[in-house]
């Protein structure tokens, strides 16, 4: 078997989620080849060449791939995928945007968000917002998969020596063009790979409420998250949303502040190792998944916790 992984990166740095996909590939078993498609992204290929277990890194370095538009990337990946038994990518917004388009070009039924590898053709994946886990078996010749990063440990990043091969194939079109993007700039760790996540909900009351939470976040060296209610209310931007349709996180410590715990939110954080819930409503569903629950006024409790650190 041979496995192709689509690396996730921003042209300068590799996203850690790619290493989780490498672990998933190792669980499947077989030769591992990674595709780095982007613009001025040779450094990312170098980083990946040092990951043990990767045999070869393919580098498609061309301005047409700089924003990872699915319209350009999908035909490239479909072309390279020939001869591979599996094609994997992290189940990020980039992977979710790209992989079904690749699968349809190959006439394969993709499998989204795998959380466990049972055998090379059989996988577990969450359905119904994570309320049910399905075990599915693919009969397709090429298994096109996206990988739930929190379900697989990150592969070791140093010690390997893969060869790097240039790919000259260029796929371009003008029906989809990049206009711009607003990316959150933060000194904090990335939400999906942080060791500690502090998340606020509707109970924070306002953007100012989140400013108070930020002090605790920074003292803990944590990433900040939010419930959908807090994002919809405009307290914080969408990239902080944790849940079924936001980010899936599984840190060592998740502190939910003023979050009631709708199943869609729980779907995004219930695999955290330790969960702390702070809420004034003792009946809030979040307490059913919390290891430690603290009932009270978050505007008093959060500064009190911060003072004790």
Tokens of 243: 């849940």
Q: Does 215 bind another protein (CB under 8 A)?
A: no
* Footprint of another protein on 132-151 (CB under 8 A): 132-140
Rounded Cα–Cα distance for residues 147 and 150 (Å): 9
Does position 161 interact with another protein (CB under 8 A)? The reply is no
Instruction: Scan residues 58-87 and list those touching another protein (CB under 8 A).
Output: 67, 69-71, 74
Q: Is the dihedral of CA 170, 171, 175, 178 positive or negative?
A: negative
The minimum distance between CB 89 and another protein, in angstroms, equals: 12
In whole angstroms, what separates CA 282 from the centre of its chain?
32
CA separation for the pair 127, 107 (Å, rounded): 23
Q: Which residue of 168, 208, 282, 283 would you call a contact of another protein, by CB under 8 A? A: 282
- Taking CB under 8 A as the criterion, the residue among 196, 202, 214, 218 binding another protein is 196
Contact 46, 160 (CB under 8 A): no
Distance in Å, CB of 187 to another protein, minimum: 14
SS3 248: coil
Nearest alpha-carbon partner for 171 in 296, 251, 257, 73: 73
Q: Which is nearer to another protein, 32 or 231 (CB)?
A: 231
Does 252 sit near another protein (CB under 8 A)?
Answer: yes
- Residue 202 contacts another protein per CB under 8 A: no
Total residues contacting another protein by CB under 8 A comes to 88
DSSP label of 203: G
For residue 71, give the DSSP letter: H
Stretch that binds another protein, among 39-47, 79-87, 206-214, 292-300 (CB under 8 A): 292-300
Comparison of 3 and 102: residue with beta carbon closer to another protein? 102
CB of 139 vs another protein, minimal distance in Å? 6
From 21-29, 56-64, 150-158, 235-243, give the range in contact with another protein by CB under 8 A. Answer: 235-243
Is there binding between residue 247 and another protein (CB under 8 A)? yes
Binder to another protein among 163, 166, 169, 238 (CB under 8 A)?
Answer: 238
| CA-to-CA dists, residue 49 to 8, 119, 161, 165, angstroms | 14, 26, 6, 11
User: CA-CA distance, 30 to 104, in Å (whole number)?
Assistant: 24
């Amino acid at each position: 078997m041979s496995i192709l992984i689509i690396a996730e990166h921003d042209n300068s740095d590799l996203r850690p989620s790619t290493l989780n996909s490498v672990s998933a590939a190792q669980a499947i078993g077989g030769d591992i080849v990674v595709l780095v498609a982007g613009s001025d992204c040779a450094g990312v290929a170098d980083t990946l060449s040092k990951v043990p277990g990767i045999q070869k890194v393919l580098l498609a370095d061309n301005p047409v791939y700089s924003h990872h538009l699915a319209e350009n990337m999908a035909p490239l990946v479909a072309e390279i995928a020939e001869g591979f038994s599996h094609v994997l990518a992290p189940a990020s917004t980039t992977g979710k945007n790209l992989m079904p388009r690749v699968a349809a070009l190959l006439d394969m039924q993709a499998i989204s968000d795998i959380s466990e590898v049972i055998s090379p053709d059989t996988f577990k994946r969450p359905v119904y917002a994570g309320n049910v886990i399905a075990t599915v078996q693919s009969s397709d010749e090429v298994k096109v998969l996206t990988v739930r990063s929190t379900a697989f440990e990150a592969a070791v990043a140093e010690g390997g020596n893969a060869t790097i091969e240039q790919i000259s194939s260029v796929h371009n079109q003008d029906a989809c063009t990049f206009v711009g993007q607003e990316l959150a700039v933060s000194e904090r760790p990335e939400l999906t790979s942080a060791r500690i996540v502090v998340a606020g909900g509707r109970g924070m009351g306002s953007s100012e409420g989140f400013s108070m939470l930020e002090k605790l976040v920074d003292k803990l060296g944590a990433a900040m998250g939010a419930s959908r209610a807090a994002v919809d209310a405009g307290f914080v931007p969408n990239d902080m949303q944790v849940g079924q349709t936001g980010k899936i996180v599984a840190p060592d410590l998740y502190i939910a502040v003023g979050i009631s715990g709708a199943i869609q939110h729980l779907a995004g954080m219930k695999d955290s190792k330790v969960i702390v819930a702070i809420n004034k409503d003792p009946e809030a569903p979040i307490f059913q998944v919390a290891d430690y629950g603290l009932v009270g006024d978050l505007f008093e409790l959060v500064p009190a916790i911060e003072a004790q650190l």
